[in-house]
Amino acid sequence: MDEKELQQSRRGFVKKTTALIGAAVLTAPSANAISLTNPGRERGDARYIGQEGKRFGMVIDLRKCVGCQACTSACKSENRVPKEKFRTYVPEYELGTYPNVHKAFLPQLCNHCAEPSCVSVCPTGATFARKDGIVVVDSEVCWGCGYCINACPYDKRYFNPITNVADKCTLCAHRVDHGLLPACVESCVGGARVFGDFNDPHSAVSKLLSSFPTTVLKPASGTKPRVFYIALSGEIQGLPYSPNVLDDMARKIDGMPTTREWSTKGE
């Protein structure tokens, strides 16, 4: 074989191989390898679809919250939330100056937004909103890039150290799908947390929404949260950039070590 023929047979080889790879790539979608969403949703798994026609959410009546953290602990035990991670919690604030001071509590959880900024940035389709509005993460598809954690304006996502992927409040979907209330609602001693279907005009949440002025956290973020608050103080609605957390300052003074990669900055 002279040089030219060798050249041509090489070219032929390259062409054939390219065609083969191209054909393989093009036929792959028909084998369901490439998906617009994720395998669970494509299968139509009930846990992924949710309850069609409903729109779940919560109304939190802050006049009734006493800051007891029953919701925080109920959530932790119901969902086996790992140490130092929280799906819901109740920060405590001190407003005003002495002698005109009062305390405020702000129960927070995933807002299950109508326009969730965490979902739209997910590059693997692992996180998505069910048809009933509950935003969940498929812990077997998520690759742990953390884009959703940064995209959430409410800091309501974390890395689960056991599954090693993004994790968050599911509004206790596993309970809700069986007709139960979310753990935090069930355990709320003052009845501050009310759960229900916003599509149903007779639900408790719909009635609360129509009877009281309500608002949401950080409305400017444009995510349209579906957790509404009654009697939310304007001072903490935007979630403040005030100086240190007093709790942290006490921890620093006590000389407690910083073990986490990310920690609260102390003075």
Partner 1 sequence: MDFGTLLHTISSITPDRPWGIDIPNYFWFTGSSAAAFIISSFAHVFGMKEYKPIAGFSLLLAFVLLVAAPMNLIDDLRQPGRIINFFFYGWENFPTSPMKWGVLLLIAYPLLILVEALVLYRPYFWFSKGMVRSQEQIEKDHHLGVVLGAIGIPLALSVHGYTGYILGAVHAIPLFHTPLMPILFLASAMVSGTGLLIILLPIFQKFFTDFKRVDMAMMQRLARLLSWFIVIDLVIRFFWLTFAITFNGEEKYALKLFFGENFWEVLIVDYVICLLVPMIIGFTNYFARSFKWVLFAGILSAIGVWIFRWNTVIGGQSIGKTTPFLLEYHPHIVGFDSIVSVLSNWSLLIALIALVMVIFPWDKEMANYYVTKEER
Binding status of residue 143 toward partner 1 by CB under 8 A: yes
Of 80, 83, 178, 265, the residue at the interface with partner 1 (CB under 8 A) is: 265
- Check binding of 48 to partner 1 (CB under 8 A): no
Question: Bridge-partner residues for 158, per DSSP?
Answer: 167
- Encoded one letter per residue, x for contact with partner 1 by CB under 8 A and - for no contact, window 172-211 reads ----------------------------------------
Q: Is 103 helix (H, G, I), strand (E, B) or coil?
A: strand
Asked whether the CA dihedral 48, 51, 55, 61 is positive or negative, the reply is negative
Least Å distance, CB 236 to partner 1, is: 7
Q: Using CB under 8 A, which of 3, 5, 52, 254 touches partner 1?
A: 3
> Segment 154-173, which members bind partner 1 (CB under 8 A)?
154-155, 157-159, 164-165
**Torsion from C-alpha of 32, 34, 38, 41, nearest 10 degrees:** -40
- Identify which of residues 94 and 204 has a Cβ nearer to partner 1 in the complex: 94
User: Which of 6, 13, 242, 253 is close enough to bind partner 1 by CB under 8 A?
Assistant: 242
Amino acid at 127: T
Of the listed pieces 9-17, 44-52, 145-153, 203-211, which binds partner 1 according to CB under 8 A?
A: 145-153
> Any idea what DSSP says for residue 108?
B
Residues 112-141 that bind partner 1 (CB under 8 A): 117, 119-126, 141
Q: How far is CA 211 from CA 163, 204, 217, in A?
A: 42, 11, 19
Q: Which stretch binds partner 1 (CB under 8 A): 129-137, 176-184, 199-207, 235-243?
A: 235-243
Question: Which residues are CB-contacts of 233 (< 8 A; sequence separation ≥ 6)?
Answer: 62, 95, 104
Alpha carbon distance 242, 266 (integer Å): 13
Query: Judged by CB under 8 A, which stretch of 10-18, 146-154, 181-189, 190-198 contacts partner 1?
Result: 146-154
Name which of residues 74 to 103 contact partner 1 (CB under 8 A).
84-86, 89, 91-97, 103
Distance from C-alpha of 182 to C-alpha of 57, rounded to nearest angstrom? 11
Distance (Å, whole) CA 150 – CA 148: 5
